[in-house]
Structure 1
Amino acid sequence: MPANHLIIFCTCPEKDTAEKIARLLVEGNIAACVNILPGITSLYKWEGKIESAQEHLLLIKTHKDHYPAIETALRNHHPYDLPEIIAVPIEHGLPEYLHWIDSCHSLK
């Protein structure tokens, strides 16, 4: 059975940005739910240097057909030049929960 649902990871530099993007996605009916995990430490290489930042992680739950719209929204509203946008298929899940994801927005 193909995976029809995704969890999309996206880090944000601060709480206000994370909440603004989460609200945009849910109110825009392209994500059913966005969890915001505060206080993560990211260690990464950027432009040849090792950097460290405190960030907020978005866990975006959606139907796979909404990925293009979510990617576009994140690119348009994220302050980073290169935002983290990583989608992972949901291979298994409570059927009622997956149905709820679908019911939160209409697919075009």
Structure 2
Amino acid sequence: MRVILFSSSERQAPLLVRALVDERLVACGNVFPGVRAIYRWQGRVEDETEAVVIAETSDELVERATTRLRALHDYDAPKILVLEAASSAAAYSTWLREQLQQE
């Protein structure tokens, strides 16, 4: 199982998760709004509120999911991190695989 961690505007984050779930590229996503992001962009220090998203997918779909996420994302340089889950409960892993099966 792969975990995709990314940030987005609070408005766009749930829309991105919904699109990826609808397309069966991720099984689910958790949106954590109200995260304060301080960063340098184009020579200025920015201070904004974002949402952080944790989404789960399979090893086989992770590249397609991140490619689609980059295409839908409204940031010029979105932060998208892919992490490998060391382990997960067997029942959860089964559920995840079932959600990612194409109809």
TM-score by length of structure 1 reads 0.86
- Residue 58 of structure 1 corresponds to 53
Between the two proteins, what is the percent identity of the paired residues?
26
2:3 to 2, 7, 30: 7
SS of residue paired to 2:100: coil
- Matching of residue 24 in structure 1 with residue 23 in structure 2: no
Aligned equivalents of 2:93 and 2:39: distance in 1? 33
1:48-68 Cα offsets, whole Å, 9 max, x none, are 332221001111111111111
Instruction: State the Cα RMSD in Å.
Output: 1.4
Aligned equivalents of 1:45 and 1:95: distance in 2? 42
Aligned equivalents of 1:18 and 1:76: distance in 2? 14
The one-letter code matched in structure 2 to 1:9 is L
TM-score by length of structure 2 reads 0.90
Aligned residue pairs: how many?
Answer: 102
1:13-69 Cα offsets, whole Å, 9 max, x none, are 123x11111111001011001111110011222233322210011111111111111
Structure 1 residue ranges, 4+ long, deviating more than 4 angstroms after superposition: none
- Residue 87 of structure 1 corresponds to 82
